[in-house]
Amino acid sequence: MIKTAMIFAAGEGKRMQPLTLHTPKPLLKVAGKPLIFWHLERLAAQGVQQVVINVSYLGQQIMDAVQDGSAWGLKVVYSVEDTPLETGGGLLKARPLLGEAPFLLINGDVWCAELPNFPPISESEDELIFMQLVDNPSHHPEGDFYFASESGLLANKHSQGMLSKTFAGISRIHPKMLDEQWLVAAYGKQFQLGDAFILSPLLRLMIDKQRAKATVFKGIWVDVGTPQRLADLNANRL
């Protein structure tokens, strides 16, 4: 069972303005409850014990709201970024807090009726990331990756029998994915803690090197990326 999770919560939420001018996106409410509260509640229900939250933009509001996580029976610790470090930089900075075992990673701006289940961790060391994919939403029709449900193959380029799917922003990661060898291979340079970079080139490398696995999540999932999507979710939430 996975005991540790990380929630990305440091972004400025520019697409959500004006709602995020004074409120960080993870504290925007669905059915009267902040987005991040939904995540914490469901992580606790899955047996997670510690949650790392990276914060930057209006981060003190998140820390004041969540505090030490005891309201959910969790231990919450914070990775504080002076300026937002993007997904890759934020994950690398938080790595010392995440331990050496696989952990869950969740984007703070997605909402699910329930968190996806993950298959048991492979005994081999091949898997460094297991991604949850979803059918392409209307606002992202081209998708992110290609996936063949029958074979479980995952690819960056289309081939016969594969359909484009969108990354749900929910994954299980082995900390070894952040080892220097993989970062240099993905970006052509070394990174230090505090450097900002996006995670997608590393994910694509994992796919090319067959170190990534995936499944398609069929539950209710919403990328709460704009005020309209948030309004639609609150109006139609199931």
Q: What is the pLDDT of residues 128-187, one digit of tens each?
A: 999 999 999 999 999 999 999 888 889 999 988 899 999 999 999 999 999 999 999 999
Token pair for 194:
């505090």
**What integer best gives the mean pLDDT of the chain?**
94
Q: Which CATH class is domain 4-236?
A: alpha beta
pLDDT, residue 54, reads 98
pLDDT, residue 237, reads 64
User: Does residue 81 contact residue 56 with C-beta atoms inside 8 Å?
Assistant: yes
| Residue corresponding to tokens 């400025």 | 12
Q: Are strands 50-55 and 75-80 parallel, antiparallel or unpaired?
A: parallel
Q: Are strands 103-107 and 4-8 parallel, antiparallel or unpaired?
A: parallel
CA distance 116 to 94: 23
pLDDT, residue 149, reads 85
pLDDT confidence of 124, banded at 50, 70, 90?
low
CA distance 60 to 53: 12
pLDDT, residue 161, reads 85
pLDDT, residue 238, reads 47
Return the closest-CA partner of residue 220 out of 109, 110, 112, 108: 112
